[in-house]
Structure 1
């Protein structure tokens, strides 16, 4: 089994599904893949529910696309990470999440138990993790120099990407943004976050800076949203507002923004686009 944060779907090996007699269903949106299997592209038109367990604590089932692949038997991609709300620790290479009220942490196998081969790979190739020279694409070192054909375009729209944001709010538009609350709900009351003296001083400095530039202004509303500071990797602080309580009573938009991985799947292989596609 492989956990792959770059995969847009969960995948099950066709031989695994066949040997374990998992019932399959027709895929609602068949598509083609070229990266999971050596050779030509593969048409994905079947899916199934795969039950699995890791250790004695974590038992789960996922909906997988059925694909003949060389990588592994079961691949858990971004849909599994999204549904389980996993947290990946890159340094330790672990995945943590809550399952049935318990915290689960998946760790990689120790080096003496790892098998870098694949189920369909010939025995003489097992353990080989290198690409041939013909399979590699040699890339030039990245350069910060802007190509000559792009410079006129950047110069034309230089006001769109300034080095610093101009002071003040954008001009009034035909439609102004507002938050629609569900009728009948009472505004929730939450206590303010406790802050020490240093955090309070930094929070006040950031608010004064935003007010001086005209990005925010003093609110006349009787309600407020609690704010707090979160440390960043470079040692500075980022101001965050806790809008979870107000989001719970906000009228949900009828047409939510589609997931990026689904959009990429739909556009896979396309070379010509129209205004209808963009809408």
Structure 2
């Protein structure tokens, strides 16, 4: 909002930290700007506002404003009274009749069925927007047989990770380290408050689902957040330090041409996305 209004920003004379109660993230306030505002026709003022990233775009008049203007609050009438430039000003809450005068109806703006029929009977052009469940773009071009197959195995294709680890298999793999090699113990990467909150949220979800557990191991593997195309964050694990001291086992890799020959005649292909959280849990 500060950038859109073209307000002049300057350094805060007394920088401080602020912490949100629910998110738990900490943010440092280092800038402020002078904002001119008016309430009604009689009250115009300027106030120094601290600048920070917020989801809301409201001008918050708090204790400093009340202190500087000697504000008196009437809790019964819910009014704020003070004197400015020799004039007594009383700020009152807006009532429903005042909101109606400002063309701000209190009821829902959607039309009823009878109002729609009345507009159609008048013979005037009517445009009706109907809510419809949005379909994924890839589902719009699927053949009916493929849609039927996806519906049949809907319980197999889960959108979220199940609340438990997969069952044990006959062969259990493990990571063998070079004997006597020092275990990596690197410091955590720097993150902004938003990334710290997101990382803590994903870790708590994995703990709740039982995919990971708290460990006191001296071996530390860093967890990083990588931005995805849809705007969300994906947790990844930086295993380069542990990979350097891992015993390398060599297995024959099939020829690429042989793999393509096995796909001859196939028409339907599937894609499984790698989930870093599972690999992190198994490590």
User: TM-score normalized by structure 2?
Assistant: 0.38
**Bigger helix fraction:** 2
TM-score (norm 1): 0.38
- Give the number of the structure with larger relative contact order, counting CA–CA contacts within 8 Å between residues 6 or more apart: 1
Larger radius of gyration: 2
